[in-house]
Amino acid sequence: MRGAMAIQTAPSFPGIQALIIDDMSVQQSTLKGHLSMLGIGKVDLASTAEEATKLIKQRRYNLILCDYNLNQKTDGQQLFEYLRDNSLLPADCLFFMITAESTYASVAAATEHNPDAYLLKPATAADIGDRLKNQLEKRAALLPISQKQLKDDLPGVLVECDKLLAQQNRWFMQALQIKGQTLLKLGKNDEAKAVYRAALEKRPELVWAQLGLARAHKAAGQFDEAKHLAQQIIQSREGEKNVAAYDVVAEALEAQGDPQAAMWVLRDAATVVPSARRQRIAGESAYRNGDLDTAKEFLNKATKATKGSVIAQPQDTLLLAQTLVDLG
């Protein structure tokens, strides 16, 4: 009854072009029905990552609903990261992950890219509508910032961030995060540190602010401080699987002339988050360090994990072949 009442008051979103990615036809029909209740009639369907990628390259979507477990070589998270890494998703495309796994939040927290929202099954029309409404409100609030970002006008981004920060509304922390990232891009490391410290004063547990502060120290050449802050993230419950923190430690070690230690950190990251991407990074680092046995181990894992998948990368096979040749 609660669901039915919620659907009656759910907002309508005509004009949105949507894509549903799910290997189960029954779930596709259910989700399509939910979108119809929300006024979304332009809906395409895909059963595999390959089908989805082909459609995304051909058409412009405003919303993608993707099942986490696609029962294929490529799961929903891997597909999402592939699309983001290859700039196949337009800036105005919302990506919602749908999963039956209550642990997905911890999975997403450990990855390089996070979807705009995730919903636990069985997701209702009201659930989708609520998330969509919130994300569209967020997009509208951040639109002046986004427009400057599209033009690569970084000083303009800072001006728009300050305007939004002055409003002291619910988008305050998002504006603060974008401001910190922009200051780092401009090389204004001390100002970036001040922004991240301001965020941590309000919410000490914010991993993105802790990570931003570590990156600011690294960019300023303060490598010991950067390593210390990043290691604190890794040792915390909230950030123990944050691979970006491992990267900060590894990059600081490289800058200090210790690529061997950096390789071991990247190995640890690939163990904590054994994705094909992390296996690839660890394998490449091992190869650069002349540790061919370790390179073979991780590149083998990356190649096997992506074989026959849309996320497979030819350089994995090539570097593995070169490693085997070098091993004799």
Confidence of residue 111 (pLDDT cuts 50, 70, 90): low
* The predicted structure's pLDDT at residue 3: 45
| CA–CA separation, 26 and 251 (whole Å) | 47
| CA–CA separation, 297 and 212 (whole Å) | 32
Confidence of residue 7 (pLDDT cuts 50, 70, 90): very low
Whether the Cβ atoms of residue 80 and residue 67 lie closer than 8 Å to each other: no
Supply the pTM of this predicted model: 0.84
Q: Is the pLDDT of residue 19 over 90?
A: yes
Confidence of residue 242 (pLDDT cuts 50, 70, 90): confident
Secondary structure class of 307 (helix, strand, coil):
coil
99 pairs with which residues across the strands?
120
Domain residue ranges in the chain: 16-120, 190-257, 268-328
| CA–CA separation, 233 and 109 (whole Å) | 13
* The predicted structure's pLDDT at residue 73: 73
Tens-digit pLDDT profile for residues 140-186: 999 999 999 989 999 999 999 999 999 999 999 999 999 999 999 99
Equal fold, 16-120 vs 190-257: no
Secondary structure class of 204 (helix, strand, coil):
coil
Confidence of residue 9 (pLDDT cuts 50, 70, 90): low
- Angstrom CA distances, 102 to 75, 105, 108, 124, stand at 16, 7, 11, 16
190-257 folds as 1.25.40
The CATH label, of 3.40.630.40, 3.30.70.20, 3.40.50.720, 3.40.50.2300, for the domain at 16-120 is: 3.40.50.2300
